[in-house]
Amino acid sequence: MRKKLVVGNWKMNLTRSEASATIESLLLMIEPTTEIEVAICPTYLTIETVGQLFKRTHFKVGAQDVFWMNSGAFTGNVSAPMLKDVGCHFCIVGHSETRGRFGKLDIPESTIPYFSETDETVNLKIKSLLYHSIHPILCCGETLAEREAGQTDEVIQAQLKGALSGIEGAEFHDGVVAYEPVWAIGTGKTCDTAEAGRVCTMIRKALVEILDESAAASIRILYGGSVKGSNAGELFAQPDIDGGLVGGASLVAEDFSKIIQSA
């Protein structure tokens, strides 16, 4: 039986004092239960602050990205052993915002080349995370153009194959996959519940082929893309949706607590 998992991706938001205030409010709103798992992925600078506040709870802290080498001349980057050292349990990889698939979102064109993650670098990051016992949250998903061209399933299958190349089922057993249609991230557009459920079932079948049956049955598959308190319940009720990866709504304690309660 897979435990539901709700992960907040704070992106480049909240200073340490804002992060503390948000977590303190959240902890007042949530009944402690070990029946579901909750994690927050704040900026690198607030990982320890959030981790300290979670100390006496079952909530976990994670990171939003990682570099695959352990140390060296890689200016601006952070490695898996460094994330482990500050208490990270999870780490997001392959988010559409780091894959450079921004499409027409409202960001300066000049920042696109900076975020140039590929399936190959995602694969290297996952291997490094697994080696350091951090659970990867592997994001995959199609752009609007790919969906309209009927390529959704093949795009996702290729992303999964590339990201998990050379990795055994037993190694990724406790890993997480997040289905995040690029066109639904931060846009307020949620994927139709039945379609999100269908894609997540397709992902689980692909994981049987790429890894093995036992790993595919235990990997949590999350849906992400404008999840809110009002739609979380029906999304999380789909048989192959094991929770959510939540961006915007995780920044407001009241909104995030409603999503956690839906799980």
Q: Which is nearer to ligand PEP, 96 or 121 (CB)?
A: 96
User: What is the closest distance, in whole angstroms, from the C-beta atom of residue 73 to ligand PEP in the complex?
Assistant: 30
| C-alpha span between 126 and 227 (Å, rounded) | 25
- Residue 9 engages ligand PEP in binding (rule: CB under 6 A): yes
DSSP letters spanning the chain:
-PPPEEEEE--S---HHHHHHHHHHHHHHS---SSSEEEEE--GGGHHHHHHHTTTSS-EEEES--BSSSSSS-TT--BHHHHHHTT--EEEES-TTTTT--TTSSS-GGGGGG----HHHHHHHHHHHHHTT-EEEEEE---HHHHHTT-HHHHHHHHHHHHTTT--HHHHTT-EEEE--GGGTTSSPPPPHHHHHHHHHHHHHHHHHHS-HHHHHHSEEEEESS--HHHHHHHHTSTT--EEEESGGGGSHHHHHHHHHH-
- Residue 210 engages ligand PEP in binding (rule: CB under 6 A): no
User: What is the closest distance, in whole angstroms, from the C-beta atom of residue 181 to ligand PEP in the complex?
Assistant: 9
Query: Which part of the chain contacts ligand PEP (CB under 6 A), choosing from 35-43, 117-125, 159-167, 218-226?
Result: 218-226
Give residues 219-248 in contact with ligand PEP (rule: CB under 6 A): 224-227, 245-248
Q: Which is nearer to ligand PEP, 99 or 211 (CB)?
A: 99
Q: Which is nearer to ligand PEP, 215 or 236 (CB)?
A: 236
User: What is the closest distance, in whole angstroms, from the C-beta atom of residue 252 to ligand PEP in the complex?
Assistant: 11
DSSP, collapsed to helix, strand or coil, labels residue 67 as strand
User: What is the closest distance, in whole angstroms, from the C-beta atom of residue 3 to ligand PEP in the complex?
Assistant: 20
- Residue 94 engages ligand PEP in binding (rule: CB under 6 A): no
Q: Which is nearer to ligand PEP, 26 or 249 (CB)?
A: 249
User: What is the closest distance, in whole angstroms, from the C-beta atom of residue 212 to ligand PEP in the complex?
Assistant: 27
Size of the site for ligand PEP (CB under 6 A): 13
Q: Could you tell me the two tokens for 91?
A: 């780490």
- Residue 191 engages ligand PEP in binding (rule: CB under 6 A): no
- Residue 180 engages ligand PEP in binding (rule: CB under 6 A): yes
Chain position whose Cβ is nearest to ligand PEP: 247
User: What is the closest distance, in whole angstroms, from the C-beta atom of residue 255 to ligand PEP in the complex?
Assistant: 10
95 is catalytic: yes
Q: Which is catalytic among the residues 37, 89, 95, 97? A: 95
Q: Which is nearer to ligand PEP, 7 or 215 (CB)?
A: 7
Residues across the chain: 263
CA angle (175, 100, 95) in 5-degree steps: 20
Biggest CA–CA distance in the chain, Å, is: 49
180 is catalytic: yes
Active-site residues, by number, are 95, 180
Contact positions vs ligand PEP (CB under 6 A) = 9, 180, 185-186, 224-227, 245-249
